[in-house]
Structure 1
Amino acid sequence: MGGGRAAGGTHDGPTYARAVTESRWDVLDWRRQVAELYRAVRAEQDVAAAHRRWVAGRERLLRTHPASPVPVGERAGYDGPGV
């Protein structure tokens, strides 16, 4: 294939470029938030509190962040991965 075409659509034009740019910023923000979550968990003195913070933060990101790997239609009812 060539000419910027993919199966089922085109990759030409400002709409596609904007979507790619936004998704890149979303992934960058996801990584920043995960790094901040790790920092906060490591700084926590109480191990149980650190674990609660990790679980809550991870579930929040998975349910609400645009770069979440959880499909959009499943996020509202998503209870998080098993712990």
Structure 2
Amino acid sequence: DEDKIDFWKETVKTKAMKGVQLFADKSFDSDFIRSYGVASLPRFILIDPSGNIVNSNMYKPSDTKTAKILADLLQ
């Protein structure tokens, strides 16, 4: 539905949301939701450069635990 997409785009813009923002156009029937095992939204997923899921239930980027996880992965 175009209205939902437009509302989502405007929200991302007005809230200056960082990172990759995706719209689940089919709600929980979308390929993305099924592929990544998403059970609730919003969801933060850590994906490596090869496209592999490192953590499918990641903390918010602003959470201090995120920095620790990333630092551990980079060692």
TM-score range, shorter chain: 0.3 to 0.5
Query: Which one scores higher on RCO, CA 8 angstroms, separation ≥ 6?
Result: 1
Query: Which structure: larger Rg?
Result: 1
More strand by share: 2
TM-score (norm 2): 0.33
More helix by share: 1
